Amino acid sequence: MSDHGPFSYLVNCAGYACFQPFFETDIEEKFDRHYGINVKPAIYLTQAIAANLKSKNMAGSVVHISSQGSTIAMTEHLVYSSTKASIDHICRI
């Protein structure tokens, strides 16, 4: 980041969704893929950019794009909805 100056803004809008009935959901495969795309990058990028801005005493903004699935029960959205609820929680801390 230092070669191009600090980033002042970040928009996390990644989204992967594979909807399956509850009892047919392959938790290990679907969980890892969903969290690997929808949650991990949002955490890692936010940490890196915020730490860089803080070290330079600069202000910035982070926007996380979530989904209605984070707050309401939706059929066949077990893993996807939990990733979007994670994104909502990241915004609160």
Residues tagged active-site: 80
* Sign of the Cα pseudo-torsion (55, 86, 25, 76, in order): negative
Cβ contacts of 27-32, under 8 Å, gap ≥ 24: 27/79, 30/79, 31/79
